[in-house]
Every structure is written in C-alpha cells, then in structure tokens.
Chain A
Amino acid sequence: MFWAALFLPLMVGLTLLFYGPKLGRKLAMSLACGSVGAGFVSSLLTFLHPPQSPDQVLFVWLHLGDAVVDFGALIDPLSITMLLTVTGVGFLIHLYSTGYMADEPEYPRFFGYLNLFVAAMVMLILANNFALLLLGWAGVGFASCMLIGFYQDRPSALMAARKAFVINTFGDLGLMAAVFVLANQGSVAFRDTLATPSDEGAIIVVLGLLVAAYAKSAQFPLHTWLPDAMEGPTPVSALIHAATMVTAGVYLLVRCQPILGSVPEMGALIAAMGLVSAALAATCALAQTDLKRILAYSTMSQLGYMFMACGVGAYGAAIFHLVTHAFFKALLFLSAGTIIHALHGEQNIFKMGGLARVKELSTARWSFLIGGAALAGIFPLAGYFSKEEILTAVHHDGVTQALFYGGLLTSAITAFYFGRAYILVFWGDREHEHPHAATALMNGACWVLLLLTVGAGAALGWPTNPTLEHYLHAVPVAGNLGEGLLLMCATALPGLGLAYAMFKTRPDGPAKGAIFRWAEQGWALDDVQRMLVIRPLQVLGRMFGRNIEDAVSHSMPDRVGSTAVQAGSELGLMQNGLLRTYALVLLTGLMGAIVYLLWQVQG
C-alpha cells in the first residue's frame, strides 16, 4: 500500500524525464500531480489501516558483513505522520506548480525532478534501517540540486546547486559514519539499533547523525547553501527548502531518540546549537531585501526551534512544529511565488509595495498575512501552538533559562521581520502594470494550506488535548493556554508593533549601516567558509594538479623516456620510425628475455 507512495512518483518522474516532451503538457502535468496525489491517498489508507507488523521487507538489499540491510519499510506513527505531511503538501505544491510553470518550456524536466524528489523523500521516511535511509537521504539532496539549478542559463543557479550538493554530500558522510559503526556492531536496522542502543561508539554515531542533520536542515555551521538555494523556482523552495527536505534532519533526530538518549550530555549542546541557528537566521532575515531569502532564513530559524526541542527531549513538540511549519511556510512561499509571478520575477521587497490594492493578489495577500501571523506565533494559528509548546518545553527543562529567553527574543525578531516584509510588500500606493494573474489551481492550493494553517494547530495540539503527541506516543509537554498567551503578548505583539512603527512610512531602500549590510550577507559566514575551506582546497588542488603532478608524471618520466628512445635511435636500431616496428622490437625483446630465462632455468 504505502509502497505506492514511493514507486508511483518514481516511475512517473523517470517517465517524464525520458519521454516528457512527447507526452504533451496536459498529460505530463496530470501524471505528475496524479502520482503524488495517489501517494497521498495511499498514505491516508496506511494511516487508517496500518499494517500488522511495523517492519515490511521487500528484499535483501546488501550484506554489510554480519549486518543484513533489507529493502524494507518501518511503518509507525512517526513515519505515517511524515508521510502524510510530505505527500499532502507535496500534492498541493504540485497542483500549484501547474500554474506557476505554465509558461515554462522545460516543464517535463521540472516535474520529473519534482517527482523524483517526492519519491526520494518517501524513501527517506519509509526506510527501516540506516543504510537504506542513506538512499533517500542522498536522493533528496540530488533532486534538490537538480531543481536549484533548474534555470540553467543562470551561472549563479548552477553554482548554488553545486554548493548545496557538496555540503549535503558532506552531511551524507555523517550518516555513513553512523552506518560504519553500527554495521560493525552487527546491525543497521532500526528495530535492533534503536531498541537496544549500544554505548560503544555511540558518541561517533551521534556526532555523525548531527553532521547529517545539520547539513540537510541547514543548521549552523552547515547552513550556507540554503539562502543560495532560493535560485530555484519558488514551488521548489516551498516544497523542498521549507516544508519537507530540510525537515529531514529533525525527523532523523526524532527517529534516533534512543541513541541520542544514550549520550545525555549531547542534549544541551543540541539545544544550544538550535538556538544559535534560530537566532542567527532571524537576525539575517530582518536585513534581507529579497522576499525569498527572508523566507529562507526564516525556515532555518524555525528549524532551529525544532532542534532546540530535540535537545531538551521534547520530540513530540519538534514533530508538531515540523508539521505546522510545513503548512504555514509552504503557504508563505506559495503566496510569495504568486507575488513574484505576478510581478514578472521581481523579488526585491523595496520594489514591491502597494500590492494590497491589486485585486488579482487578494488570495496571495491573505495567504501571506495568515502564514506570516502563524510564523510570528499569533493565537490561534498553527504556529502559535507548536512554538509555544517548544518554548514551554525549554522552560521546563531547567538546564539553563538562557535558552528560553533566547527563544523568546528570537520569537520577537521573527514577528518583527514578518511585519517588515508585509508592510513593504503590501502597503503604500505604488502602481503595478499588468500583474500576472494566478490560476485557480494556484489559489486553490493556497486556500487549502490556509485552512490548515488556521485549523491544524488547535486540532493537533491544543494544550489540554495534544492529539498528535498522543498519536506519536510522545511525552506531551504540559502547556498552559494563559501562560502561552502572555508570552505571545510579550514577544510577537511588540515585534509587530516595532515593525509598524519603523516601516509605516515605507522607506525607499534598506538601511545603510555597516551592521545591517553585514547581517544581509548572513554575517559573512559565506566568506568565512570560503577563506577557511574552499580557498585552501583550491590552492592544494592547484598544487597537486599542476606542480606536483607535472613533476611526478610528466617532466621526470618524460626525460627518462626520451633518453631511452634517443639512445635507441643513436644505436641505429629504430631508424625507420614506424611505431609498429618500435613496438615489435620492444615486445620481441621482452618475450625473448622471458623465453630465454625460462629455458635457461629449465636446462
């Protein structure tokens, strides 16, 4: 049943890549949407009728020594939750893309990779062992890379694709390291390794998992690829770089909670790193001028909250925020996509403004407003419940309250940068000529996500009735509605108020301060990475590839070789110059030597 969610999008994806242009636009797009829709239905059926045994094996994939790697699925509440989120949001974004990419001549390539991505993501979620997890893990990285570089006439897009791919491959090594340790202990299957985590080598496994999770989920210091990934088409940003792929790191930590639990001292570190990412990204977001980059940093920031939750052991809250974030961030990206589409590709928020008065964009405006309010944590939207839950869990954890206050401050910054973006995009009286209208499917997808953003939080995680956490068998966080509302008044409302005070007059351009520019450049971490990692490697590469290689393989042996040939010519043995003769002479000589030696010895 659930295998359909893997194989249908996979088959359709490959078909589109190879035969897409022959199918015609309508059929290609229907197949793409249909297969992901069917994947969602099969996930829904799996949710309603979960299989008897959680472990479902198709065939043996590999033997890593004694560790047998099955091609098999693990169907439990966690994977079903992820499956529903990924195929559900994926289906909506596929529908949206049919409108967004309507004028794109290379639509088969777009939908082909989008489908491959969904298949790889489903593989990642279904895998019942670490080695197979790697298949999906690297698969989503590959599909993401091909989609970031979709507009291939832009060198910056190709560069961004390569950057994402390389950093993600580095992350894959973390997961591989975990596989090395676990395989040498006899099993890589979740049912063994998670049921009885071994203390031996656990620290390496945990570090490996963290490297993998940080790279995939764009967490500091492996986050630099995510802002650049916005080079891809906006539906890609919505699906991959907001709702699904980047949350894989959180899924991994939640999945591996028994292993994390065996090294309890790592918890505080994970939570602290989560806050670092959350705060760092939020400060970057408030200085961006590109609408999509604001959302990219905001994604990184929200993922930081999820990692904080994992650090303090609130795994249920992490998944809850993962799900609500998938809804409201996809909504934000899709509405941003509609706006960018309408303005013929304009992404600078200072060149927008006045869009509230454009009739064609009313759906986008409501979507952006509601999605952003959910992001800022306004009651009773989805983001409110899940973020409050994480903050409550951090508060109750009691390791240090610094994390809690840091989280609150970040929350205020979040509200501020959303307020800034909203005012700059929609307020004011700028005129726009011929805005490109969104199709019904684009608006429809936004409306469904809008409903989910409004309703899902209260339905899945009302403080006294946390449905999702009961379903996941997670320890619920004892939240309190009154306290939560108080926190909202202390953080989100002042943030929004400050944004109103500062931007109600709509300045024409971004602030000019040095700190501001520094934040816009992501605190120059890109440059640090370039100086510390890329440069030295380039220098070494040049040294090896040119200087050393030249000496070892060219100048030295060539001199020896030409001396030998010259000596041969001077002896007058090879004057006719035919290569064939050279060869025969050399070979005959060699064979003669062999035969001679052999006879010699025999006699």
Chain B
Amino acid sequence: MLTAIVLLPIVAAAAVGWLPPSLARRLAFVTALADLALVILAWLNQAPLESYPWIPSLGVEWRLALDGVTGMLAGLAALLVVCALAATTERITRQNEYAALMLLLLGFLQGVFLASNLGVFYIFWELMILPAFLLVGRWGDRKAAFKFFLYTLMGSLAMLLALVIILFGGTALPDLNYATLALHPFSPQIEQVLMILFLLGFAVKIPLFPVHGWQVDTYETSPAPVAAVIAGVMSKAGLYGLLRVGGVFFTSAFANAIPILLTLALVSLIYGSFCALGQTRTRRVLAYSSLAHVAMMTLGIFSLQSVALEGSVLQMLAHGLTTGGLFLLLGYLEDRDLPDDLDQLGGVATPMPVFGLALLLFSMAALGLPALCSFPGELLILTGLYHLSPGSAILASLSLVAAAWFLLRFYQRIAAGSGARLPRLTDLDWREQAVLVPLAVLVIWVGLRPYDWQAIIRAAMMTWGIQ
C-alpha cells in the first residue's frame, strides 16, 4: 500500500504526459486525489512497514514506513497537489506535460517522506529536483529555474558526500535503514562532519540564510499552483530531513553545536522578517514571510527540546496549509489580470467578498493569530526554546510582531481600500472556492483542536526515540 502511494503518481505521470491536455489535467487530478485517499487509508489502517531488497551491497532497501509524522506530511503533499491541479486554469500551456510533472513531483515527494532508508530518501530527494526545475523553468522563469537548480545542486553534493562517508567511512553499517542509523554510535568527529554536510544539504531546501537566494525568484516567477506546492511542501522536505538527522541520527553532534545552530536560525528569522517589512510585491512578501516562518521551525528543531520538536512538526503542517492557500489566492488574482504591486492593488474585497474573507483567514493564520493553525505550533516551539535559552525565545517571538505588521499590511493593501482603480472583477466561482475549503477547514481545525494533531505527532516521535 505504501509502495502504491509512491508509485501511483509516478506511473500515472507516464500516461498523463501522452494524453490530450484537457484530459491530462483531469486524470492527474483524479490520480492525486486517489493518492490522498491512499495516504488517509494507510494512516487509518496503520499500514505496516514495507521492505524489499534493492541494492544490498550499498545497504539500500526499498523500505517505506508511515507514521503520524510521515503520514501527515505525505497527506499534506497529496492535498496540496490536488488543490494545485484543481486551481490550474487554461492559462497554463501544454497541460499534459505540466500535469505529468506535477504528478512526478508528488510521487518523489511521497518517496522522500515515506522512505525509511537513507538511500531511498536520497534517491527521491535528488529526483524531486527534476520536475520542480522543469516546472519552474518552463512555466515560470528560466533564470529562476537555473538559480534553483544550482543552489540545490550545491546542497545535493554535500549530501552525497555525507552518504559516501556513512557507507565507506569505516563505520561498518549493515544497512542504511533509519532504525540502524538511529542506534549506530558514530565517532564524534565523523558525526560532526556528517552533521555539517547534511545541514548544508537541508539548509538550501528549507531555505536558511544565506543560502536562500533561489527562493524569492522561484516563488515570484513560477505559476501560483507550482509555487504553492514548492513553498508548501518541498520546503517541508528539508525540515523533515533536518528533524530526522538532527533529532534522531546525529543528536549528540547537534546538541554540541546548539549555540551556533540557534544563532544560524535566529539570524535567518530576523533577516526574513526585516526583508518582508519593506516589500512591495505580493509574492515577495510571502517569500520572505516564508523565510521567517521556516526559520522558526528550524529554531524549534535545533533546540532539540521535545516540546519544540512537536511544535515544529505541527508548524510544518500549518505552514503548508497557509502558504499553499495564500499562493493559490494570489494565483486567483493573477487569473483576473490584477497587478502584483501592493501599491496598485486595493479594495479587492468589495467586488470579491469571498476572496477577501479567504485572504483574511489565511493571512491571519499565517501571522499566528490564536485559534488558527500557526499559533499552537509557535507556542510549542517558543516554550521549548525558552526552556533552553530564554533570550532566544524572546528574540524569536519579536518576529511575530513583524509578521503582524507585514501580513496585515499585505491583506489590507490587497483587500481593503476603496478599489476605485480596479477593473470589473467577479468573485471566486465554485471551483475556486472548493479548492480552498479543505485547506480552510484544516486551518481552523488545527487551530481550535491542536491536541488532536499533537497527540499523533507525539506518538510517532516516541517511536523514533524522541521523548
């Protein structure tokens, strides 16, 4: 069943690529929906670990496992791809290729999340770059795609090196299964080197300052549904990797470096917040606000406090929902040929009240308004961080004030105001609204009853060995 979750979109992609465009998008949508259903079913039935031999000489086993955390991320990936495909309009050319690449991206993401063997994780991690690169390059901007590719390549090489060291650095591991890695005692020097290499690999994807350069261009130029998936899910792949590596595999090396790591994340957080303050373009506000938010999750992971780790995972879900939702909403504006300049927008909520409410919901959720999805995670992260370093927690919490400023400004500049300069606009149609409904429901559910989700995360992290 888990294998099906990974392979279904990949196999379907091959078929979708050859279909006529309109049919292709529909089939891709149904496939992604089926994938989501599979994730939910596997989650409800507590699907057992699946393991088949693959490349035994390198310790690589086809080994997939679904628990609370990986299942949640896989579900998020499928959900966002479903929403992105449903939100894609005729404005996207060559829809068969587009839909096939989206499905490939989904399949590879599922591989990254469900893998329970570092080799499998790495293979999917690398594969994931290809469809993302093509999606950004073909339907967005070439230069941005190259930038994305070069940055990612840098991270990938670091990870490859780490893998080589694990395999042949005299550690004598029987295989690359997560369970083996978690128990294996590495020598401190090797562990430190591995930590640095993995950190570099994940930092590019998350992204963290100063290796975030690809992010703004990619988020700004790619089609909104693609940006929603990349910002909503792909950044979570980096955070998820960091959580595994830092929280489980190389904990002692990470624990020794806590002051440096916290500084790194704090710098990124403050940097992102400041950059977001002065932006005048819609997508750029979201890009820098995302930079700050992922830095907050990184901070939670680096603190290695179980409370904060739970918060980081909860926040991954929350951030995926809000960022995904916000990018899709910006896409709706672009479909109506509105400018992306905050100074030229305004008053959109008057002709488009439903859009206005949705934008308000998702921006408020993103800035951490209590009773919506981001607040519980932030509270958990900061409470855990406070235990370790009160100063860092206070400093980090100041970023919430900045977020209140730039996200409320973002909302007001788009939705509020007189709107006298706008062309005639029609409000969201049923399809556009339907795309947002599952996201909105989850935004409110996670905010009002966060313990439903925290309990799941906590149970999964116990099995990883995080208490």
**Interface 1/0s, chain B 140-163, versus A by CB < 8 A?**
001101110111010010001000
Docked-complex contact B126 and A591, CB < 8 angstroms:
yes
Contacts of B275-330 to chain A: CB distance below 8 A: 275-279, 288, 306-307
Docked-complex contact B307 and A583, CB < 8 angstroms:
no
Docked-complex contact A166 and B401, CB < 8 angstroms:
yes
B394 contacts chain A at the CB level, 8 A cutoff: yes
Residues of B within 8 A of A571 (CB): none
Residues of B within 8 A of A579 (CB): 134, 137-138, 142, 145
Contacts of A191-220 to chain B: CB distance below 8 A: 204
Complex: A320 Cα to B196 Cα, angstroms: 61
Given A545-B279, A587-B129, verify A64-B383 contact (CB < 8 Å): yes
How far, in Å, is B106 (CB) from chain A's closest CB?
Answer: 18
Docked-complex contact B213 and A541, CB < 8 angstroms:
no
Docked-complex contact B450 and A62, CB < 8 angstroms:
yes
Docked-complex contact B397 and A544, CB < 8 angstroms:
no
Pick the interface stretch among B29-37, B244-252, B384-392.
B384-392
A173 contacts chain B at the CB level, 8 A cutoff: yes
Docked-complex contact A586 and B149, CB < 8 angstroms:
yes
**Interface 1/0s, chain A 582-598, versus B by CB < 8 A?**
11001100110110011
Given A180-B393, A558-B147, verify A61-B404 contact (CB < 8 Å): no
Docked-complex contact A586 and B153, CB < 8 angstroms:
yes
B4 contacts chain A at the CB level, 8 A cutoff: no
Pick the interface stretch among A305-313, A470-478, A524-532, A548-556.
A548-556
Residues of A within 8 A of B382 (CB): 176, 180
B445 contacts chain A at the CB level, 8 A cutoff: no
Residues of B within 8 A of A594 (CB): 126, 160
Interface hub of B143, B277, B458 (most chain A Cβ within 10 A): B277
Docked-complex contact B275 and A152, CB < 8 angstroms:
no
Given A166-B404, A169-B404, A538-B277, verify A64-B145 contact (CB < 8 Å): no
Complex: A593 Cα to B157 Cα, angstroms: 10
A580 contacts chain B at the CB level, 8 A cutoff: yes
Complex: A173 Cα to B386 Cα, angstroms: 13
Residues of A within 8 A of B134 (CB): 579-580, 583
Residue of A nearest to B306 (CB): A65
Docked-complex contact B278 and A545, CB < 8 angstroms:
yes
Given A135-B370, A173-B400, A545-B279, verify A162-B168 contact (CB < 8 Å): no
A565 contacts chain B at the CB level, 8 A cutoff: yes
**Residues of B in contact with A, size category:** 35 or more
Docked-complex contact B274 and A565, CB < 8 angstroms:
no
**Interface 1/0s, chain B 115-149, versus A by CB < 8 A?**
00000000000100110011001100011011101
Complex: A372 Cα to B136 Cα, angstroms: 65
B412 contacts chain A at the CB level, 8 A cutoff: yes
Docked-complex contact B383 and A18, CB < 8 angstroms:
no
Option from B213, B376, B409, B412 in Cβ contact (under 8 Å) with A557: B213
Residues of B within 8 A of A576 (CB): none
Residue of B nearest to A169 (CB): B404
**Interface 1/0s, chain A 119-155, versus B by CB < 8 A?**
0000000000001001101110010010001001101
Complex: A543 Cα to B164 Cα, angstroms: 41
B357 contacts chain A at the CB level, 8 A cutoff: yes
Option from B57, B209, B274, B306 in Cβ contact (under 8 Å) with A541: B274
B25 contacts chain A at the CB level, 8 A cutoff: no
Docked-complex contact B397 and A65, CB < 8 angstroms:
no
Docked-complex contact B397 and A162, CB < 8 angstroms:
no
Given A139-B370, A173-B401, A179-B379, verify A541-B451 contact (CB < 8 Å): no
Docked-complex contact B416 and A538, CB < 8 angstroms:
no
Complex: A162 Cα to B168 Cα, angstroms: 57
Residue of A nearest to B413 (CB): A158
A183 contacts chain B at the CB level, 8 A cutoff: yes
Docked-complex contact A545 and B274, CB < 8 angstroms:
yes
Docked-complex contact A561 and B454, CB < 8 angstroms:
no
Complex: A594 Cα to B126 Cα, angstroms: 10
B171 contacts chain A at the CB level, 8 A cutoff: no
Contacts of B398-416 to chain A: CB distance below 8 A: 398, 400-401, 404-405, 408-409, 412, 416
Complex: A434 Cα to B150 Cα, angstroms: 72
Complex: A537 Cα to B405 Cα, angstroms: 12
Contacts of A80-117 to chain B: CB distance below 8 A: none
B418 contacts chain A at the CB level, 8 A cutoff: yes
Residues of B within 8 A of A59 (CB): 449, 451
Docked-complex contact B401 and A602, CB < 8 angstroms:
no
**Interface 1/0s, chain B 326-347, versus A by CB < 8 A?**
0000000000000000000001
Complex: A170 Cα to B402 Cα, angstroms: 9
A564 contacts chain B at the CB level, 8 A cutoff: yes
Residues of B within 8 A of A538 (CB): 277-278
Option from B138, B168, B353 in Cβ contact (under 8 Å) with A601: B168
Residue of B nearest to A593 (CB): B160
Residues of A within 8 A of B130 (CB): 583, 587
**Interface 1/0s, chain B 251-290, versus A by CB < 8 A?**
0000000000000000000010011111100000000100
Given A61-B451, A558-B147, A561-B147, verify A544-B416 contact (CB < 8 Å): no
Complex: A158 Cα to B416 Cα, angstroms: 8
B212 contacts chain A at the CB level, 8 A cutoff: yes
Given A61-B450, A180-B390, A590-B153, verify A162-B408 contact (CB < 8 Å): yes
Docked-complex contact A138 and B369, CB < 8 angstroms:
yes
B216 contacts chain A at the CB level, 8 A cutoff: yes
Docked-complex contact B149 and A540, CB < 8 angstroms:
no
B359 contacts chain A at the CB level, 8 A cutoff: no
Residues of A within 8 A of B450 (CB): 61-62
Docked-complex contact A153 and B417, CB < 8 angstroms:
yes
A165 contacts chain B at the CB level, 8 A cutoff: yes
B364 contacts chain A at the CB level, 8 A cutoff: yes
Complex: A204 Cα to B394 Cα, angstroms: 11
Option from B138, B145, B347, B383 in Cβ contact (under 8 Å) with A184: B383
3 interchain residue pairs of minimum CB distance: A553-B213, A541-B277, A180-B386
Can you report 18 residue pairs joining A to B where beta carbons are below 8 Å apart? A17-B357, A21-B353, A62-B451, A62-B454, A135-B370, A139-B371, A152-B418, A158-B416, A173-B401, A538-B277, A553-B216, A557-B147, A583-B133, A586-B153, A590-B156, A593-B160, A594-B126, A598-B55
Query: Which A residues are within 8 Å of any B CB, using their own CB?
Result: 17-18, 21, 59-65, 131, 134-135, 137-139, 142, 145, 149, 152-153, 155, 158, 161-162, 165-166, 169-170, 172-173, 176-177, 179-181, 183-184, 204, 537-538, 540-546, 548-549, 552-554, 557-558, 560-561, 564-565, 579-580, 582-583, 586-587, 590-591, 593-594, 597-598, 601-602
* Extra 5 A-B pairs, beta carbons < 8 Å, given A64-B307, A597-B164: A537-B274, A538-B277, A543-B274, A552-B210, A553-B212
